[in-house]
């Protein structure tokens, strides 16, 4: 489908279930904030596939997405509900933004882009259902389309997924339906005002483009250097991975029910095997969205009391979909722990206080989601590749 070149401008909304700059982080939901009218980002859509809607739609959502990102899959349900609510007034355009930590995301994006305009929506839905299927021998046009989307994401400083622009107004993360509805209804009213003034529906986005060129919204400043948190200097935790006398310490705040924590756990285990100068210590940060996370945090402390934290955590992450009490006791037994002692520690007041102490420290250090790490006193948010940790160590 041939698309016109359209732009818009916008200010960010507060993050909900995923962080825009750190997509591999799970955080708590924040209040709905409607962006101001003048806050629009320039978002061209030339060369991007249309998921739904046509040129006469008064509101256009550009979604930056990754087929292997669970929060993107969650957000797709919200987008589907919006399409049902707004019908002809809503157009949805897709900008592929495969993240480097997802091994199949780029291939999946190429599969989607290789589909015809008429079959794109079906392929898009199937890829989210598969969460990571890949294809081979995509036509060159697919690579060119992906390059277009990635260049646009770089220009807009899109660092994570999902990220949305509603007529140019940015919404970061898998926000609830109410957040999107507030922005879409606000933009629809603005667009209808333009139509009432004589602007053709197919020209609404072009008018917003002209406004964007006259008063461009500022992009967030880029700073790839890790943030230094002085209060993290000297902080330790439960012995977890690596040698006790290692020169450098990674303090890891984690949640045993968080899928990204599981991913980072595997990376750090491999890393310390070949880096004797680095150790990882463990701190709990159970998120309220995870029903078993707090009990699992207490179980981790109970396992640590018997020097079995490394083995226990590996089992808990391996069976992350089963973190009820009976399962946690089973993992303790499989880890070779004294089950009677483990259950006593699991239920003790001291263990509950230890979890609360971890949470208090997390709050003091500004930890919002999981996984969050401190390399000495440098902050690293999300399931970042080991190269990020290596850079922080030097």
pLDDT tens column, 170-190? 898 889 999 999 999 999 999
Query: Taken in order 73, 75, 81, 87, is the CA torsion positive or negative?
Result: negative
Q: Do domains 26-214 and 227-393 have the same CATH topology?
A: yes
Task: Residue 343: count other Cβ atoms within 10 Å of its Cβ.
Answer: 17
How far apart are alpha carbons 253 and 285 in whole angstroms?
A: 6
b/e per residue, 322-339, with b = 16+ CB within 10 A? ebeeebbbebbeebebee
pLDDT for position 213:
74
Q: Which residue's entry shows tokens 């667009």?
A: 191
pLDDT band for position 140 (cuts 50, 70, 90) = low
Between 39-48, 141-150, 263-272, 358-367, the lowest mean confidence (pLDDT) is in: 141-150
pLDDT for position 166:
93
**What are the domain boundaries of the chain?**
26-214, 227-393
Q: Are 10 and 33 in contact (CB under 8 A)?
A: no
How far apart are alpha carbons 129 and 210 in whole angstroms?
A: 39
Q: Which residue's entry shows tokens 């003091």?
A: 364
How far apart are alpha carbons 345 and 349 in whole angstroms?
A: 8
How far apart are alpha carbons 386 and 370 in whole angstroms?
A: 16
Is the pTM higher than 0.85? Answer: no
Q: Are 156 and 62 in contact (CB under 8 A)?
A: no
pLDDT band for position 242 (cuts 50, 70, 90) = very high
Portion of the chain with pLDDT greater than 70, in percent: 86
pLDDT band for position 27 (cuts 50, 70, 90) = low
Superfamily covering domain 26-214: Glutaredoxin (3.40.30.10)
CATH fold of 227-393 reads Glutaredoxin (3.40.30)
b/e per residue, 61-91, with b = 16+ CB within 10 A? bbbbbbbbbbbbbbbbebbeebbeebeebbb
How far apart are alpha carbons 135 and 105 in whole angstroms?
A: 11
Closest CA to 235 of 372, 391, 370: 372
């Amino acid at each position: 489908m041939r698309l016109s070149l359209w732009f818009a401008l916008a200010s960010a909304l507060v993050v909900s279930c995923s962080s825009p700059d750190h997509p591999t982080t799970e955080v708590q939901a924040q209040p709905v904030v409607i962006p101001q009218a003048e806050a629009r980002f320039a978002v061209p859509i030339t060369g991007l596939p249309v998921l739904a809607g046509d040129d006469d739609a008064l509101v256009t959502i550009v979604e930056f997405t990754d087929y292997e990102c669970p929060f993107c899959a969650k957000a797709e349900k919200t987008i589907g509900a919006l399409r049902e609510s707004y019908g002809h007034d809503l157009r949805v355009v897709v900008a592929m933004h495969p993240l480097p930590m997802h091994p199949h995301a780029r291939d999946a994006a190429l599969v989607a882009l290789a589909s015809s305009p008429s079959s794109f929506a079906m392929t898009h839905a199937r890829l989210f259902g598969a969460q990571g299927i890949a294809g081979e021998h995509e036509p060159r046009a697919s690579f060119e389309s992906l390059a277009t989307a990635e260049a646009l994401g770089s220009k807009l400083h899109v660092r994570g997924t999902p990220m949305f622009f509603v007529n140019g107004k940015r919404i970061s993360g898998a926000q609830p339906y109410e957040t999107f509805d507030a922005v879409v209804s606000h933009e629809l009213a603005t667009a209808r005002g333009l139509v009432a003034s004589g602007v053709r529906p197919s020209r609404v986005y072009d008018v917003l483009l002209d406004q964007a060129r006259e008063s461009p919204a500022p992009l967030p400043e880029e700073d790839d250097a890790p943030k230094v948190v002085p209060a993290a200097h000297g902080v330790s935790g439960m012995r977890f991975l690596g040698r006790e006398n290692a020169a450098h310490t990674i303090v890891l705040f984690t949640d045993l029910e968080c899928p990204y924590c599981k991913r980072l756990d595997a990376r750090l285990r491999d890393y310390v095997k070949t880096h004797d100068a680095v150790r990882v210590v463990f701190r709990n940060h159970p998120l309220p969205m995870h029903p078993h996370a707090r009990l699992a945090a207490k179980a981790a402390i109970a396992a640590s009391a018997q020097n079995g934290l490394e083995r226990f955590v590996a089992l808990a992450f391996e069976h992350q979909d089963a973190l009820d009490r009976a399962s946690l006791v089973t993992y303790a037994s499989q880890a070779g722990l004294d089950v009677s002692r483990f259950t006593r520690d699991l239920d003790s007041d001291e263990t509950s206080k230890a979890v609360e102490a971890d949470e208090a420290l997390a709050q003091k250090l500004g930890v919002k989601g999981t996984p969050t790490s401190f390399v000495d006193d440098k902050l690293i948010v999300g399931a970042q590749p080991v190269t990020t940790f290596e850079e922080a160590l030097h």
